Amino acid sequence: MARTTAAFPDVPEYFPQLVGAVLRGGVVLSAILFALGVFLAYTGGAAIMAPARLTGSQFASELRSGGPTALILGGLIVLVLTPLLRVVISFLMFLRVGDRAFSAITAIVLAVLAGTIVIGVLA
């Protein structure tokens, strides 16, 4: 099997497995939610939310409503949070083992992603 040794010597051996599991879990869960949402929309005949700018509270109420819109929106949120969660886990791991350089690097990525969400919610 082709592979590279470029890795983090101080980080526990299970780290790549953990990252892989988070990524796979997120994408599988969101695909299930997408498929269920579309299926329910067609069997139940319900309309799906049209593309629109949503405020935070509209967002929350769409999610609470249940039904196909909530399922697809939920899948979307799971999917967007998956890479974010992967960065959070990496950041905490580097922090724990005292890898200052990579703590800082992952913190920058985290700040950009979190900043994007904050800009979105405020704008």
Partner 1 sequence: MLPIFPVDGTLPPITDLLLVLVFAFAAGVVGAMLGLGGGLFIVPGLVVLFGVDIHLAIAASLVSTIATSCGSASTYVEDRLTDLRTGMFLETSTAVGGLAGALIGVTVLASQAPVLIFAFIPVVVLAAVLMVAHRPSDVNPDPPHDRLADRLALGGTYTRRSGERVPYRVTGTFGGLALVGFSGLGSGLLGIGGGLFNVPAMHSFMNVPMRVASATSIFMVGVTATAGAVVYLFAGYLSLLLVAPVAIGILAGSVAGTRLQAKASARGLRELFVGVLALAAALMFVRGMGWL
Residue ranges binding partner 1 (CB under 8 A): 1-8, 16-17, 19-21, 23-24, 26-27, 30-31, 34-35, 37-38, 41-42, 45, 47-54, 69, 72-73, 75-76, 79-80, 82-84, 86-87, 90, 101-102, 105-106, 108-109, 112-113, 115-117, 119-121, 123
Rounded Cα distance between 46 and 40, Å, is 8
Rounded Cα distance between 92 and 97, Å, is 9
Helix 100-122 × helix 67-97 angle, to 10°:
150
Residue 110 Cα distances to 82, 89, 96, 107, 114, angstroms: 12, 10, 17, 5, 6
In the complex, minimum distance from the CB of residue 33 to partner 1, in angstroms, rounded to a whole number: 9
In the complex, minimum distance from the CB of residue 113 to partner 1, in angstroms, rounded to a whole number: 6
In the complex, minimum distance from the CB of residue 101 to partner 1, in angstroms, rounded to a whole number: 6
